[in-house]
Amino acid sequence: MRPVYMVSGGIAKFKKAYPDRDFRLLVKEAFDYAMSDVPELTLEIIDGSVASYFSDHFTRQLMAGAMAQDYLGLNPKPSRRVEGGGATGGLCFQSAWESVASGRMEGQRVHRPGLGHQLRLLPRWLLLRLLRHDGAVPHARVRNHRGAIGQNIHQKPPQRHSQPIRPEPHGPDSGRRAFLSNGSYAAHPAGHLTMSDGAAVCILASEEMAARLTSNPVRITGVDADTDAMRMADRPHAKVPILPHESESDYTHLKYPGVHSFRAGRMAAALAYKMAEVQNPLEDLDFVELHDAYTSSELQTYEDMGLYKYGEGGRFIESGASELGGVLPVNPLGGLLACGHPVGATGLMQAVFAFWQLQCTIRKHMSDPFLQIPNARRGLIHSHAGTGTDITVSIMERP
């Protein structure tokens, strides 16, 4: 496989609704931003696209990818749409990586249509159902298996939810962080994440093309996406897949994944680490863009990724490691709970933020260097669908 680089990215600001712009125009804005950031990029040298568009309910368009392709002036070049719930963006990113790695395409753009009129249609029901019902069930079990976690969860730094990227609140519960640290719940209630609208674009290229286009590309060194049973109830209660820096004796009594952990996330991390030659993620990564569509999943994901052992993820937060300036900053730009979650765009937003971090261009794109992680060389982006049914992990590095 050929090495694949990200050469540019753009984001149309995520906000509650865009009555004055439909998804095609949002994608166009993100696309134009990405194109203008690398002046050598022209429509002519783009070989094709992958559209990251989650639900037909959102815009009531069955071929929103085709509509964006048309609007951007990319016809008759190849395009396809990728869909995988909340992980749609991460899957799209990896699908585009495959196109370039295989040699089928040279420079490749990954875009995602925004969710159009989603707030007026079904998704409020769909998404809140996902977050509230399925997402909330594991928590009591988490508590039961892991003793102290309940005490840890509520200590997550609240400032992460008011990072400067998205100052306006997304809903009445935005930023609400009410967790009980005693009693029978580990996390209660789950934060109410209001969905948002927006678009993001990543432009990928081969090594040769990347070198022609920019002096500051970022290499995609590890990718994997894994899955689990659609119903949480059907997931196994078996042995923990061990990461290189763990041992079987760490988990002699833990039935895995049950409903307390995400096997798909652990498997995706394991393979992406292997590909990118990450031995110990806590030491080898400089930041993580983590899919925190519901608060407790952040804690669960720390453990799935092997940052701390299962049952000890709370210590990772307690230690301050995830803070800006910590050992391994997580979601320095606020994550999903701050930016909202325009489903298909979210995974690509993470890639764009990671790209800017690794380029050290946060100051340029945010008009403020505060969120720049000094000397970031290697970052991980993580995209999560349907309470762990499909999870992607991609690792990006400054060459």
Partner 1 sequence: MARRGRVKLPETETGTILFNLDPIIIKDHYEIDYIHSYAQDSPFFEGLSKGELKGSKCTNCNYTYATPRGHCMNCGKPTQWFTLPNQGAIHTFTTCYFSGEVFLGETPYTLILAEFPGVDTLFMSRLIGADPAEVRIGMNVQAKFLRNSKFRVTDVYFVTAQDG
Task: Name the site residues for partner 1 (rule: CB under 8 A).
Answer: 19-20, 60, 121-122, 124-126, 128-129, 132-133, 136-141, 144, 183-185, 188-189, 192, 229, 231-237, 259
How far apart, in whole angstroms, are the C-alpha atoms of residue 310 and residue 395? 22
Q: What 8-state DSSP symbol labels residue 333? A: T
How far apart, in whole angstroms, are the C-alpha atoms of residue 195 and residue 90? 18
Instruction: Give me the least distance between CB of 237 and partner 1, in Å please.
Output: 7
Beta-strand pair 378-385/287-289: parallel
Q: Is the peptide bond before 3 cis (omega within 30 degrees of 0)?
A: no
- Residue 80 or 145: the one with the smaller Cβ distance to partner 1 is 145
- Residue 125 or 370: the one with the smaller Cβ distance to partner 1 is 125
Q: How many CB atoms lie within 10 A of CB 2?
A: 12
The two structure tokens encoding residue 231:
């119903």
Q: Is residue 226 a contact partner of residue 271, using CB atoms and an 8 Å limit?
A: yes
- Residue 237 or 363: the one with the smaller Cβ distance to partner 1 is 237
Instruction: Give me the least distance between CB of 261 and partner 1, in Å please.
Output: 13
Instruction: Give me the least distance between CB of 71 and partner 1, in Å please.
Output: 17
Taking alpha carbons only, the member of 201, 196, 166, 199 closest to residue 23 is: 199
Provide the residue count of the chain.
399
Q: What 8-state DSSP symbol labels residue 133? A: I
- Residue 154 or 274: the one with the smaller Cβ distance to partner 1 is 154
Instruction: Give me the least distance between CB of 379 and partner 1, in Å please.
Output: 33
- Residue 227 or 361: the one with the smaller Cβ distance to partner 1 is 227
- Residue 113 or 306: the one with the smaller Cβ distance to partner 1 is 113
The two structure tokens encoding residue 125:
């029901």
- Residue 233 or 325: the one with the smaller Cβ distance to partner 1 is 233
Beta strands in 263-375 (DSSP E): 287-289
Instruction: Give me the least distance between CB of 199 and partner 1, in Å please.
Output: 18
Instruction: Give me the least distance between CB of 386 and partner 1, in Å please.
Output: 14
Question: What HEC string does 197-216 produce?
Answer: EEEEEEEEEEHHHHHHHCCC
- Residue 184 or 247: the one with the smaller Cβ distance to partner 1 is 184
The two structure tokens encoding residue 167:
């100052």
Instruction: Give me the least distance between CB of 127 and partner 1, in Å please.
Output: 9
Q: Is residue 165 a contact partner of residue 338, using CB atoms and an 8 Å limit?
A: yes
Instruction: Give me the least distance between CB of 134 and partner 1, in Å please.
Output: 8
Q: Which residues contact 79 (CB under 8 A, 6 or more apart)?
A: 48, 49, 50, 51, 65, 66, 69
